């Protein structure tokens, strides 16, 4: 491949003196690739806006990279409009996504052009044993790579989702209270040792945000909040097109803001947290006496859709409680798009309408005016697809082929 070289990330080797024409071109190429890698897919107009490069420069570089097979240009959606989008090439490498829920394990294999090549999910008591859960993931990865016809050596990286706060500095699950079977375990390091591959880890809400951003309802958005409402409540925050994790990885723990100082004790040890007034367990506890102990969240949502007044009332109350928390988020971050995911998302308008009403009541009007609330389009695949997106954005640039 004469005339081309492997660029090792945006800061790659510099064979030309800084300031030379060639050095400037290389820097522009790296900047463009970085923007595409980070977003997954961008129109040329978006690339120009995010990189500060002129439209003509973007067009020239995209043509060069497409001719070299490093990027692809194909139809896509941005902000609801059909546009031609630039993605990294499908031949640029393969990534793996692993998503642990409390009761399931889902694994997917994809390429850098965002095609999902193979995917599977199994029910699993993830909390019970970290070792068993890691063994199962390793086996599923091997099986799915086989299905996809990909050698392990072709895998650039693995995205890993865990259902709880994840300390980005220590690599440990943040709180043993929230995930007792994994206390003290460094899941990222454990998978690195088993797979001998780079592993990038994050919590489920952050990965849900990345999943919807790259593959679902958040495509083309730069400022969005993904709110997962399941057994717990957590938010993934995308600001300026990038995931915001905070200093230690705990940004977005909206489930533990205080709604009622005299309320019930939460699993975090505080009292009256939003989560204890709005999660799936709360929903079932309110309906147990009237609808039976066997009622599931899916049953309650289905009954509410059929008009059951008790189920509708409880979902409405949960929507209102969540809306109070979202109003605070609006005042802080002024997001344009809120995507509801998790087990309660199928309730749709039954949850979203009272949520909107609470936001309108408690947020300042200028912070809530632009907010659009939608349910996610990826369902329970949001986290594993987010794990793929994380692995893509973290590892793709290391093998990008760029012109010298
Ligand atoms: Zn709490």
Per-residue pLDDT at 118 exceeds 50: yes
As a whole number, the mean pLDDT across the chain is 86
- Calpha distance 179→175 (Å, rounded): 7
Q: What is the pLDDT of residues 202-257, one digit of tens each?
A: 989 999 999 999 899 998 888 999 999 988 899 999 998 889 999 888 899 999 99
Distance 127 CA to ligand 1 centre (A): 19
Distance 295 CA to ligand 1 centre (A): 25
Q: What is the pLDDT of residues 52-79, one digit of tens each?
A: 999 999 999 999 999 888 888 988 766 6
pTM for this model (two decimals) = 0.82
Distance 256 CA to ligand 1 centre (A): 4
In a 13 Å sphere around the CA of 398, the CA atoms on its Cβ side amount to 13
Distance 269 CA to ligand 1 centre (A): 6
396 — pLDDT class (breaks 50, 70, 90): low
Computed over its alpha carbons, how large is the radius of gyration of the chain?
22
> What integer is the mean pLDDT of 373-381?
95
Distance 270 CA to ligand 1 centre (A): 5
Per-residue pLDDT at 15 exceeds 60: no
6 — pLDDT class (breaks 50, 70, 90): very low
* 368: number of Cβ within 10 Å: 19
Q: What is the pLDDT of residue 398?
A: 44
Distance 173 CA to ligand 1 centre (A): 16
Per-residue pLDDT at 122 exceeds 60: yes
Q: What is the pLDDT of residues 144-176, one digit of tens each?
A: 999 999 988 889 999 999 877 777 777 777 665
Distance 363 CA to ligand 1 centre (A): 22
Q: What is the pLDDT of residue 404?
A: 33
Burial 35-60 (b: 16+ CB within 10 A, else e): bbbbbbbbbbebbbebbebeeebbee
Q: What is the pLDDT of residues 246-304, one digit of tens each?
A: 988 889 999 999 999 999 999 889 999 999 999 888 999 999 999 999 999 999 999 99
Per-residue pLDDT at 329 exceeds 70: yes
Q: What is the pLDDT of residue 306?
A: 96
Distance 254 CA to ligand 1 centre (A): 9
Distance 106 CA to ligand 1 centre (A): 27
- Calpha distance 375→344 (Å, rounded): 10
Distance 273 CA to ligand 1 centre (A): 5
Q: What is the pLDDT of residue 360?
A: 95
Distance 255 CA to ligand 1 centre (A): 6
Distance 359 CA to ligand 1 centre (A): 21
Distance 299 CA to ligand 1 centre (A): 26
Distance 257 CA to ligand 1 centre (A): 7
Distance 102 CA to ligand 1 centre (A): 18
- Calpha distance 375→25 (Å, rounded): 42
CB burial of residue 75 (10 Å; 0-12, 13-18, 19+)? exposed
Distance 356 CA to ligand 1 centre (A): 23
Q: Which of 117, 64, 113, 105 is nearest to 86 (CA)?
A: 113
In sequence order, what are the residues at sequence separation of 6 or more whose Cβ sits closer than 8 angstroms to the Cβ of residue 319? Answer: 347, 350, 351, 352, 353, 354, 355, 358
Task: Tell me if 213 sits within 8 A of 203, measured CB to CB.
Answer: no
Task: Tell me if 8 sits within 8 A of 19, measured CB to CB.
Answer: no
Distance 276 CA to ligand 1 centre (A): 7
4 — pLDDT class (breaks 50, 70, 90): very low
167 token code pair:
């300390």
């Amino acid at each position: 491949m004469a005339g081309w070289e492997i660029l090792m990330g945006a800061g790659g080797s510099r064979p030309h003196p800084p300031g030379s024409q060639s050095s400037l071109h290389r820097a522009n190429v790296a900047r463009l690739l970085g923007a595409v890698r980070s977003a997954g897919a961008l129109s040329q107009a978006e690339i120009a806006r995010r990189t500060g490069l002129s439209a003509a420069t973007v067009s020239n570089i995209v043509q060069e990279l497409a001719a070299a097979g490093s990027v692809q240009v194909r139809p896509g959606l941005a902000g609801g409009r059909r546009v031609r989008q630039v993605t990294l090439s499908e031949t640029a490498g393969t990534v793996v996504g692993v998503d642990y829920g409390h009761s399931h394990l889902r694994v997917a294999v994809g390429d850098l052009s965002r095609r999902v090549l193979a995917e599977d999910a199994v029910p699993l008591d993830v909390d019970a044993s970290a070792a068993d859960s890691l063994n199962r993931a390793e086996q599923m990865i091997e099986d799915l790579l086989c299905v996809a016809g990909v050698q392990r050596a072709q895998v650039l990286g693995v995205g890993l989702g865990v259902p709880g706060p994840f300390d980005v500095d220590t690599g440990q699950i943040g709180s043993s209270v929230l995930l007792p079977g994994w206390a003290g375990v460094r899941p990222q390091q454990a998978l690195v040792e088993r797979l001998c591959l780079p592993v990038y880890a994050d919590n489920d809400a952050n990965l849900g945000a990345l999943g919807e951003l790259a593959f679902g309802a958040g495509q083309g958005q730069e400022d969005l909040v993904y709110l997962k409402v399941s057994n717990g409540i957590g938010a993934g925050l995308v600001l300026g097109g990038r995931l915001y994790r905070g200093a230690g990885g705990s940004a977005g723990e909206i489930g533990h803001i205080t709604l009622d100082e005299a309320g019930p004790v939460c699993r975090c040890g505080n009292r009256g947290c939003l989560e204890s007034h709005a999660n799936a367990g709360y929903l079932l506890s309110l309906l147990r006496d009237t609808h039976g102990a066997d009622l599931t969240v899916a049953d309650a949502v289905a009954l509410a859709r059929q008009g059951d007044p008790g189920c509708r009332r409880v979902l409405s109350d949960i929507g209102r409680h969540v809306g109070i928390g979202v109003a605070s988020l609006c005042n802080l971050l002024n997001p344009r798009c809120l995507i509801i995911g998790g087990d309660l998302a199928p309730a749709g308008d039954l949850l979203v309408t009272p949520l909107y009403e609470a936001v309108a009541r408690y947020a300042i009007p200028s912070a809530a005016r632009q907010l659009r609330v939608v349910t996610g389009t990826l369902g329970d695949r949001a986290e594993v697809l987010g794990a793929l997106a994380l692995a893509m954005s973290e590892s793709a640039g290391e093998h990008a082929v760029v012109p010298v």
